[in-house]
Amino acid sequence: MDWMELKINTTAEGCDLVANILYDAGAAGVVIEDPEDARALLRQKESWDYIEPGALNTEGDIVTVKGYLPINDSLGDLVKMVRERLTDLAFCEPGFGPLELATGTVNDRDWAECWKKYYKPLRIGRNIVIKPSWEDYRPKEGDIVAAIDPGMAFGTGTHESTALCIEFLEKYISKGCRVIDVGCGSGILSVVAAKLGAGIVEAYDLQAEAVDITRENARQNGVDRVVKAQRANLLDAAKDRVDIIVSNIVADVIIRMSPQAARHLKPGGIFIASGIIRDRRGEVYASLEYYGMAVVEELRRGEWIALAAMLKG
């Protein structure tokens, strides 16, 4: 399949709003290339084991947000919508960088080869190791290894917001608990939750491509009896109350989803919300609090924040 790549240059403060525009257009996933993220990785000695030198941009402060739309009859209208919303955003927020849209074409094969250049095994938290299926890895004692192939749905653990979610999952997952992963992408969080001992993981994504990739990654990891992926908008398909809801999206979507999250958590259940830029922290806190959830823990890395909020019982 051929895809159109939509590439927008912005700032760290503007990237979540830009990402939200691409998601609303139906992007099959969003990649955020932040030079500060790359600089932080390269400051860690172990990073040289899994990042090919020169693969990441470490210069300047421009953040590049990329989204991918399938090339079909509706593409023209979607690109027009993205341009119009970027124009509106530039008018309202002149400090968010150039916000100019560049486009190109990429196919699944090119995408896979690009990832293979620098996607290597990555340790997150105490014991979680994320690896692509084509890489060999010899587990150390206590390691929990998840083999994730991103496809066009993305989600490899290298982005800070994903890593923060995984750290929270490692802390809050208990054996047999029930989890919902909203915006599952590649299924990385669903697979990790299952590997940590969750009894049932419901994985939702609006994109059919993401659902297919999540199912395949669950199968490759031997957790397909635990992880059940389906196409759905946010929590619209959820029926029961669960112990944990995890969502690595953007602040606007987390705010919009807060009332649903409160309805589908058990009393004392945890909502793990990530993809929040620092400037939006207060808005997310206020929304969670309004719907009866108290933030019990916060993790920060670079410009990104993840929150663990408990539903008051």
Residue 63: give its domain's CATH number.
3.30.70.120
- Of the residues 75, 110, 145, the one at which a domain ends: 110
Residue 200 falls inside a structural domain: yes
Mind listing the pLDDT tens digit of every residue in the chain (313 residues)? 688 889 999 998 888 788 878 877 877 667 777 776 555 555 554 443 444 444 444 455 788 898 888 888 889 999 999 999 999 999 988 889 999 999 999 887 776 666 566 567 889 999 999 998 888 888 889 999 999 887 665 666 667 888 999 999 999 999 999 999 999 988 999 999 999 999 999 999 988 888 999 999 999 999 999 999 999 999 999 999 999 999 998 888 999 999 999 999 999 999 999 988 888 899 999 999 999 999 999 999 877 899 999 999 7
Give the tokens for residue 194: 């299952």
**Are residues 101 and 188 both part of a single domain?**
no
**Are residues 102 and 163 both part of a single domain?**
no
**Are residues 80 and 176 both part of a single domain?**
no
Rounded-to-integer distance, Cα 260 and Cα 310, Å: 14
CATH number at residue 265: 3.40.50.150
Q: Residue 279: give the domain boundaries.
A: 156-311
pLDDT at 49: 45
**Are residues 105 and 209 both part of a single domain?**
no
Residue 142 falls inside a structural domain: no
pLDDT at 24: 78
Give the tokens for residue 143: 């390691």
Rounded-to-integer distance, Cα 236 and Cα 192, Å: 23
- Of the residues 77, 110, 143, the one at which a domain ends: 110
Residue 52 falls inside a structural domain: yes
**Are residues 168 and 300 both part of a single domain?**
yes
**Are residues 223 and 91 both part of a single domain?**
no
Give the sheet arrangement for strand 144-147, strand by strand: 122-124, 128-131, 144-147
Handedness of CA 48, 169, 140, 218 (dihedral sign): negative
pLDDT at 50: 44
**Are residues 78 and 166 both part of a single domain?**
no
Q: How far is CA 104 from CA 4, 18, 29, 71, 224, in A?
A: 6, 18, 16, 11, 35
Q: Do the beta carbons of residue 87 and residue 79 sit within 8 Å?
A: no
Residue 123 falls inside a structural domain: no
pLDDT at 286: 97
Residue 51 falls inside a structural domain: yes
Give the tokens for residue 62: 């421009």
**Are residues 164 and 102 both part of a single domain?**
no
Rounded-to-integer distance, Cα 189 and Cα 182, Å: 10
Residue 151 falls inside a structural domain: no
pLDDT at 157: 63
Cα 311 → chain centroid: 23
**Are residues 99 and 169 both part of a single domain?**
no
- Of the residues 55, 83, 110, the one at which a domain ends: 110
Helix axes 251-264, 281-290, angle to 10 degrees: 20
Q: How far is CA 207 from CA 114, 186, 201, 255, 311, in A?
A: 22, 11, 18, 21, 29
**Are residues 176 and 247 both part of a single domain?**
yes
Residue 175 falls inside a structural domain: yes
Give the sheet arrangement for strand 63-70, strand by strand: 30-33, 63-70, 2-10, 101-107
The amino acid at residue 71 is: I
**Are residues 41 and 176 both part of a single domain?**
no
pLDDT at 54: 46
Rounded-to-integer distance, Cα 222 and Cα 226, Å: 9
Quote the pTM value: 0.76
- Return the closest-CA partner of residue 266 out of 163, 168, 177: 177
- Return the closest-CA partner of residue 72 out of 7, 111, 114, 28: 28
pLDDT at 176: 98
Give how many domains the chain has, as a whole number.
2
Residue 127 falls inside a structural domain: no
pLDDT at 70: 82
Give the tokens for residue 54: 């020169």
Q: Do the beta carbons of residue 277 and residue 304 sit within 8 Å?
A: yes
**Are residues 262 and 183 both part of a single domain?**
yes
